[in-house]
Amino acid sequence: MRIVDLTQRLSIMTPPWPSYEPLSVKFFKRLMPNGASGQIITTSNHVGTHMDGQIHFCTHGKTIGQQDINDFVGPGVVVDISDMVEDYDIYTSELLMSKADIRKGDILIINTGYHKYAWDQPEADEIRYMVKHPGPTKEFASWCKEMQFKWIGVDCGSADHPMNTILRKWSEDLYGLATKCSQHMQKKYGKTLEEIFPQDDYQLMHFDLFPEGIIHAECLGGDIDQLSNQRTYIGAFPWRAIELESCICRIVAFPDIKE
């Protein structure tokens, strides 16, 4: 059976989501004296390909380890919109539905094309990967609830538009990127950044969807381009860790499995 890996490689060089602790790896023993090597790792849960759990944003939600394994595995679709979006763009339900066969209850994977800016790629660009990738508005989040997706995955820094997170303030303070984003949106959509993302909609893919049980995985990559606009069977495999609010995980597709 063919298995397609949708997971980004993990390294001490993998950038965590801004302000989170990166991965650290060290040996606490090598082969001598008993012939075994062992390591200790320290990391936040938001480095590389990872699944955001409900309690990451919803206090009464489930931890990663409290979710049944069946919550992470099932039929779905990888929707490739990489030829339709650019820096700071908005993607909509209509755009995704125009590209692939999306069904109620699916696992929805969105290929924005921004995995090509991941840390280990020839076009690596950490700012672009984390701060300039496309994202959705309230319309999209409402559609996700209507479609009752099992979970959602994206190949960039966040399932939310970066300018609908704290990065809006941080990137403006450092690089003036919120101003540049607003100028782009005014030109392309006829609205300012503040009009597209009012305060009430802040980080809506987390705040609006997690209480509904629709969580998401971020920073996918690997061979995601092999499955552009294809239906497939998908599985995410985080640790069965009872206390974790989120978890680094392996995400794969099984295209030979028929629904």
At residue 258 the predicted structure's pLDDT band, cuts being 50, 70 and 90, is: confident
**pLDDT the model gives residue 33:** 78
**pLDDT for 99 beyond 90:** yes
Note whether 101 and 145 are within 8 A (CB): no
Distances (CA, A) of 152 to 33, 96, 159: 47, 13, 8
Closest to 156 measured CA to CA, from 131, 182, 122, 120 = 131
Domains and CATH numbers, the chain: 49-254 (3.50.30.50)
Q: Running DSSP on this structure, what letter comes out for residue 130?
A: H
**pLDDT the model gives residue 77:** 98
| DSSP E strand boundaries for the chain | 4-5, 24-29, 38-42, 50-52, 73-80, 107-111, 151-154, 215-218, 230-238, 246-254
**pLDDT the model gives residue 154:** 99
- The DSSP bridge partners found for residue 108 are 77, 152
* CA pair distance 107, 171, nearest whole angstrom: 31
* CA pair distance 181, 207, nearest whole angstrom: 23
**pLDDT the model gives residue 32:** 76
pLDDT digits over 215-249, tens only? Answer: 999 999 999 999 999 999 999 999 999 999 999 99
pLDDT digits over 62-96, tens only? Answer: 999 999 999 999 999 999 999 999 999 999 999 99
The pTM is what?
Answer: 0.96
